[in-house]
Amino acid sequence: MADTTGTATPEAAVEHGEDGVRRRDFINIAAIGAAGVGGASVLLPLISQMAPSEDVLAESSTEVDISAIEPGQAIKAIFRKQPLFVRRLTEKEIAEAGAVNAGSLRDPQTLEERTKEGHRDILVTMGVCTHLGCVPLGAAEGEVKGEFGGYFCPCHGSHYDTAGRIRKGPAPTNLEVPEYVFTSDTVIQAG
């Protein structure tokens, strides 16, 4: 007698049910994985050819005249083809950064560790969000600075404080402070 209950036979379950789907998924995943490996092996030599040599990177540096930056203002420069933010903090912004218990932060660092002695008001960071690399807002006049008064990345909502430290959102670490020196009271050299 025909089965009128609508229940699949054991054979049908194997062919169309969970097991069958899993088997097909596995085959698809295996195929994508193999393509991914092949793609990567083709791309890697290309990328290594395009990357500048260590020597070139070491030689490239950027000088920035900071004399015209007023407290509360920032400027954008380019350092090794990426945005560089240089900001002169107000007394209030310095106090806000200092009032935070650095140990409680996702990437624990004090303002002192992120600035140079004698120049606590000058914050030099890369303008590159540490989540997926967007350029955060907050350096140009009128741009939103996020909930902590520093920088805000609109791509996925990362908020950085007045010391450029990650305070909220998906970014894993603080905005990077590149290597730099003060070559005079009014000029910094990154790199």
Closest CA to 136 of 149, 161, 162, 154: 154
Which one among 116, 155, 178, 189 touches ligand FES, defined by CB under 6 A?
Answer: 155
Out of 129, 139, 163, 177, the residue judged to bind ligand FES by CB under 6 A? 129
Any idea what the Cα angle at residue 165 is, between residues 162 and 166, rounded to 5°? 120
**171 touches ligand FES (CB under 6 A):** yes
Whole-number Å distance between alpha carbons of 111 and 159? 16
Q: In what order do the strands lie in the sheet with 74-79?
A: 74-79, 82-88, 122-126
39 vs 8: CA distance, rounded Å: 42
Residue 83 contacts ligand FES per CB under 6 A: no
Given 125, 158, 162, 174, the residue binding ligand FES (CB under 6 A): 158
Please pick, among 16, 119, 156, 159, the residue that the annotation labels catalytic.
156
For the question of residue 16 being annotated catalytic, the response is no
Name the site residues for ligand FES (rule: CB under 6 A).
129, 131-134, 153, 155-158, 169-171
Provide the annotated active-site residues.
156
